[in-house]
Amino acid sequence: MAIVSNTIGYLDGDVLLEAYFAFDDAITERRPAVLISHAWGGRDDFVAEKANKLAELGYVGFALDMYGKGVLGNSPEQNSKLMQPFMADRGLLQKRIKAALYAVRLLPWVDDSKIAAMGFCFGGLCVLDLARAGADLKGVVSFHGLLGAPDNLEANSIKAKVLALHGHDDPMGLVEQVLAFEQEMTKAGADWQLHTYGHTMHAFTNPKANDPAFGTVYQANADKRSWLAMKNFLAEVFA
């Protein structure tokens, strides 16, 4: 096994974005790729590590960029300011993440008939919106993602299989929002699953999350269980 990683620039209109990607150079044939959408702070080491882990599983991990090359938030206030334009304009969000899907298909190591996407927090919402927009994907995985439906898409045909991994005590995904998400997915005819982890808050996969008052707390069991659920899901959708 020889994990190779690098960054690559790509465009959404005139906005320069920079993704981090990783793959196993010992594999000679083209292989599936998994987009990784970052949380509200921007493309950071957390998603780069996930790209490396996906490369170890035999995929191309592609940590996409929603904000622009080198753009990172350093505080909850900055993060919120970066995320807000995309929350206010879901069409902008969908266009931005579609640019990443276009970019990953061009990588020479990628089997462009086998693409999936996963995301964390804000990134979970991004990959769910990619599926909602009818993108040609095998599947999407949302880790403690925001679940609210966009207002610019109505009853689109969701081609991708959907797996949402959710903390029961997540204050950013209340019970009524979860129920609305289930009803939305069912109405759209999606092949969907939702796994709920008890005694688990938001950001449960992030070891640095330790703010119970804000609702973000790392939960080791949920982290392990959700990663295993994702591995099984990817094995299924890429079979």
Q: What is the mean pLDDT of residues 201-226?
A: 97
154 or 68, greater pLDDT: 68
**Domain enclosing residue 206, as ranges:** 3-237
Q: How far apart are CA 66 and CA 18, in angstroms?
A: 9
Summarised one tens digit per residue, pLDDT across range 52-71 is 999 999 999 999 999 999 99
Q: Over the chain, what is the mean pLDDT?
A: 97
Q: What is the pLDDT of residue 102?
A: 98
Going by pLDDT thresholds of 50, 70 and 90, the confidence category of residue 1 is confident
Q: Are 230 and 165 in contact (CB under 8 A)?
A: yes
Q: Report the share of the chain in percent with pLDDT over 90.
A: 97
Question: Band of the pLDDT at 191, cuts 50, 70, 90?
Answer: very high
Burial of residue 227 (number of CB atoms within 10 Å: 0-12, 13-18, 19+): middle
Band of pLDDT at residue 98, cut at 50, 70 and 90: very high
CA atoms within a 13 Å half-sphere pointing along the CA-CB vector of 215? 12
Average pLDDT value for residue range 84-107: 98
Query: What would the mean pLDDT of 68-83 be, rounded to a whole number?
Result: 97
H/E element, 62: strand 60-63
For the segment 196-204, the average pLDDT, to the nearest whole number, is 98
Give the H/E segment covering residue 33: strand 31-37
Predicted confidence (pLDDT) per residue in 121-153, tens digit: 999 999 999 999 999 999 999 999 999 999 998
CATH number, residue 134: 3.40.50.1820
pLDDT level of residue 215 (50, 70, 90 thresholds): very high
Buried b (16+ CB within 10 A) or exposed e, 130-163: bbbbebebbbbbbbbbbbbbbeebeeeebebbbb
pTM, two decimals, is: 0.97
Q: Side chain identity at 41, as an amino acid letter?
A: G
Q: Stretch 80-90: mean pLDDT, rounded?
A: 98
Q: How high is the pLDDT of residue 155?
A: 63
Q: How many domains does the chain have?
A: 1
What amino acid occupies position 20? Y
Residue 35 has pLDDT above 80, yes or no: yes
